[in-house]
Amino acid sequence: MIGDTILIVEDEVPMRRFLCSALASHGFRVVEAATLAQAERAATYARPSAVLLDLGMPDGDGLDLLKVLRERSSAPVIVLSARDREDEKVLALDAGADDYLTKPFGTSELLARIRVALRHARGQTVTTDVVIDVGPIRIDQARHEVTVANQRVHLTPTEFRMLAFLARHAGKVLTHRQLLHEVWGPRNAHQTHYLRVHMAALRRKLETDPTRPRWLTTEAGVGYRLVDE
Amino acid sequence: MMRPYFQAALAVGAVTALAAAIGDHITIADDAMLYVIAILFAALGGRGPSIAASVVSVAAFDFFFVPPRYTFAVSDTRSLITFSVLLVVGITSGGLIARLRAAETASRERERRTAALLAFTRDAAAATDLAGVRAAVARHGVHDDPRFDEAIANQGKLAIDRLELAEVAREAALRAKAEELRNALLSSVSHDLRTPLAAITGMATTLRERTADSVELDTIISEASRLSALLTNLLSITKVESGAAPRRDWVPIEEILGPVLVRLDKELASHPVTTSISETLLAHVDPILFEQLLLNLLDNAAKHTPATTPIDVVGKRDGAAAIVEIADRGPGLAADQRAKVFDKFYRGRTSAPGAGLGLAVCRGIALAHGGTVEVSARDGGGTVFTVRIPDGEPMPDVEEAEAV
């Protein structure tokens, strides 16, 4: 992991200082950009392995830069956003951002997100393994079998598809739209309540305490994440 | 006053003279016709002159033309018919003309009143204050006709109502403007507070990593997180009070409660929390706002009850509404406190930290959903907060949601 270059696109100096300091002390190379124009140049010459992008930039819409980055490279983009900006996050995720961090966040959250993003980038964005292990949960995609702590769990086909999709992107947030599109097809991309009801059922089958989910977490207003650690 | 009678007499005299002058060339029937003309002419003066003219005409006709002439004697009964015709013509034409005159006068009076009312209405509508309306009433009002005065009074009242409505609208616009300003201020303040707060949290956690146990850094981190929670509440109350409609969806209560319990892990560590939520309980809520509501209620319960006392969360449906109850075994609330706990900045008789915003946010969010949050004493001691959110639309059928 040492030597990975992270491009930080952030206009607030103290925030940039924190990001630089935190990343540098964990062995990353850091390139900073205070404007979108700088960021666009830096993305070309520094060839970053991942990008931290603050969406509220003074010289334009961070989403535009995101689109440019998506055209030029497969480097994962992690969006930095405020708490009440769920729409903005969803837009960025659906436009190709890999994940997001809600300000304020600490070092451990920052590093966890970057590690997941880099791992996914190396594995060609999604895991192609037939058998995926996430914590105590094992998903065998070939045999359509799921076990939790070696105990066989029976899932409906819909639940299995949801879980397998989340597991292939383990650690990464998936928006409602992405999940609906994958599991129910493009026609039902707005029926979020289907998703929520099946997610509740899935939690009851997989979580020790479904009211305090450990693995299948809800990202309010955004989507779901299968926590991977 | 007497002039129409004089004119009537003149007309009868003139006709008599004319008839006498040309009497040799016309018949007695023609004489009668001439008198009819005289009576009709007299009738222009009204009913009285008309009748008078017909009576005098009958007399003159009888005296001068009906044989034997120059007496009032009548030798021919046919002349009696002529007399009656003349009398009837006099009476009816006079009556007709009088009625016509009356109608004309009335219509002219009506026209005058309408014009006056119109002028008044115009003046009253142009008035921008009460004094203006009063001046208009003084200028146009108080006639001898009570109906007209009533009309003026009605119009005046309408003008005053209009002024009052305009005043109310102006006040509402002013209030909305102030509210808008307050919200803009609040949201920009909280943004400007949050930006440095994000840097503080970040820096402190970075330092914390490099430092062995540090109460100082832990305090900075936890206080920053408390400040962040307060800002979130400020923003939530701004959001619901700005009147923006919540973005409701059908959400299992469990899904909303989950992240709340995880986020309050530390606060709830010393309280056993039981949850009793029916598996399929869906609520029609804005997931983000409702999470904030549950977070505040549970945080409130954790803060104001002694350690080790349980907190029980119950979720259920009541017809077309979702109900969530959060019950504690704390010291309970006095009735006068219960009435005030949802007020903004009410902090109660407590030493627990807080700005008194949490429950106000809860009420704001419930109200934004057309629902309520109420507090009552719990049987056996403690307090129950009951959130009731009526469905905004019929519940969808989720049983058929199996993907194919």
B402 contacts A158? CB cut-off 8 A: yes
**Is there a single domain that holds both residue A112 and residue A148?**
no
Q: Residue B357: name the closest of B368, B371, B343, B336 by CA.
A: B343
pLDDT-based confidence at residue A107 (cuts at 50, 70, 90): very high
Average pLDDT in the A110-131 region?
80
Q: Is the pLDDT of residue B91 over 90?
A: no
Distance CA B39, CA B288 (A): 97
How are strands ordered across the β-sheet holding A29-33? A29-33, A5-9, A50-54, A77-81, A99-102
Q: Is the pLDDT of residue B112 over 70?
A: yes
Q: Tell me the pairing of strands A56-57 and A50-54.
A: unpaired
Q: Is the pLDDT of residue A81 over 50?
A: yes
Chain B residue at shortest CA distance from A86? B288
Element (H, E) at B374: strand B372-377
Distance CA A21, CA A52 (A): 14
Average pLDDT in the B223-238 region?
86
B206 contacts A194? CB cut-off 8 A: no
Shortest Cα distance from B150 to chain A (angstroms)?
60
A18 contacts B206? CB cut-off 8 A: yes
Shortest Cα distance from B315 to chain A (angstroms)?
12
**Is there a single domain that holds both residue A44 and residue A89?**
yes
Mean confidence (pLDDT) of chain A: 89
**Is there a single domain that holds both residue A149 and residue A222?**
yes
pLDDT on residue B348: 65
Q: Does B262 contact chain A (CB < 8 Å)?
A: yes
Q: Residue A48: name the closest of A65, A73, A17 by CA.
A: A73
B403 contacts A157? CB cut-off 8 A: yes
Shortest Cα distance from A140 to chain B (angstroms)?
20
Chain B residue at shortest CA distance from A197? B252
Q: Is the pLDDT of residue B248 over 90?
A: yes
Q: Which residues of B touch A17 (CB under 8 A)?
A: 199, 203
Collapsing DSSP to helix, strand or coil, B340 comes out as: coil
Q: Which of B206, B261, B288 sits opposite A221 (nearest CB)?
A: B288
CATH at residue A66: 3.40.50.2300
Q: Does B207 contact chain A (CB < 8 Å)?
A: no
Query: Which of residues B141 and A173 earns the better pLDDT score?
Result: A173
Query: Which residues touch B295 (CB under 8 Å, ≥6 apart)?
Result: B260, B263, B264
Q: Does B281 contact chain A (CB < 8 Å)?
A: no
**Is there a single domain that holds both residue A69 and residue A111?**
yes
User: B255-275, pLDDT tens digit by residue?
Assistant: 999 999 988 988 899 999 999
Average pLDDT in the B316-332 region?
92
Q: Which residues of A touch B279 (CB under 8 A)?
A: 200, 204
pLDDT on residue B235: 82
**Is there a single domain that holds both residue A135 and residue A220?**
yes
Number of structural domains in chain A: 2
pLDDT on residue A1: 46
User: A152-168, pLDDT tens digit by residue?
Assistant: 999 999 999 999 999 99
pLDDT-based confidence at residue B401 (cuts at 50, 70, 90): low
Chain B residue at shortest CA distance from A185? B403
pLDDT on residue A155: 94
pLDDT on residue B189: 74
Q: Is-cis flag, bond preceding B396, omega within 30?
A: no
**Is there a single domain that holds both residue A57 and residue A158?**
no
Q: Is the pLDDT of residue A68 over 70?
A: yes
**Is there a single domain that holds both residue A15 and residue A85?**
yes
Average pLDDT in the B44-60 region?
85
**Is there a single domain that holds both residue A64 and residue A142?**
no
Listed by number, the residues of chain B in 324-383 with a beta carbon closer than 8 Å to a beta carbon of chain A are none
Alpha carbons within 13 A on the beta-carbon side of B303:
19
Residue in the block written with tokens 């954790």: B302
pLDDT-based confidence at residue B142 (cuts at 50, 70, 90): low
Domain boundary (A91, A122, A153) is at A122
Torsion of CA A83, A87, A89, A90, to 10 degrees: 140
Domain boundary (A74, A97, A122) is at A122
Average pLDDT in the B9-17 region?
88
pLDDT-based confidence at residue B352 (cuts at 50, 70, 90): low
Q: Tell me the pairing of strands A77-81 and A50-54.
A: parallel
Question: What ipTM was predicted for this assembly?
Answer: 0.88
Strands of B207-310, DSSP E? 249-252, 273-277, 282-285
User: A121-152, pLDDT tens digit by residue?
Assistant: 887 545 567 899 999 999 999 999 999 999 99
User: For testing the chain A interface, which of B217, B223, B255 should be mutated: the one with the most A CBs within 10 Å?
Assistant: B255
pLDDT on residue B349: 57
Query: Which of residues B218 and A84 earns the better pLDDT score?
Result: B218
The answer, as to whether pTM is greater than 0.80, is no
Mean confidence (pLDDT) of chain B: 85
Q: Is the pLDDT of residue B92 over 80?
A: yes
pLDDT on residue A210: 87
Contact A68, A38 (CB under 8 A): no
C-alpha dist (Å) from residue B32 to B21, B41, B225, B301, B321: 15, 14, 118, 114, 97
Q: Which residues of B touch A104 (CB under 8 A)?
A: 194, 197-198, 200-202, 224-225, 228
Q: Residue B365: name the closest of B212, B244, B201, B213 by CA.
A: B244
Q: Is the pLDDT of residue B284 over 90?
A: yes
Shortest Cα distance from A159 to chain B (angstroms)?
9
Structure token pair of residue B200 = 């503080």
**Is there a single domain that holds both residue A9 and residue A116?**
yes
Average pLDDT in the B99-108 region?
88
pLDDT-based confidence at residue B149 (cuts at 50, 70, 90): confident
Distance CA A182, CA A161 (A): 8
CATH at residue A208: 1.10.10.10
Residues linked to residue A78 through DSSP beta bridges, in sequence order: A52, A99
**Is there a single domain that holds both residue A199 and residue A97?**
no
Domain boundary (A101, A122, A143) is at A122
Q: Which residues of B touch A165 (CB under 8 A)?
A: none
User: For testing the chain B interface, which of A173, A188, A196 should be mutated: the one with the most B CBs within 10 Å?
Assistant: A196
**Is there a single domain that holds both residue A107 and residue A177?**
no
**Is there a single domain that holds both residue A140 and residue A209?**
yes
Residue B134: how many other CB atoms lie within 10 Å: 16
Q: Is-cis flag, bond preceding B68, omega within 30?
A: yes
Domain enclosing residue A23, as ranges: 5-122
Mean pLDDT lowest among A42-56, B137-151, B286-300: B137-151
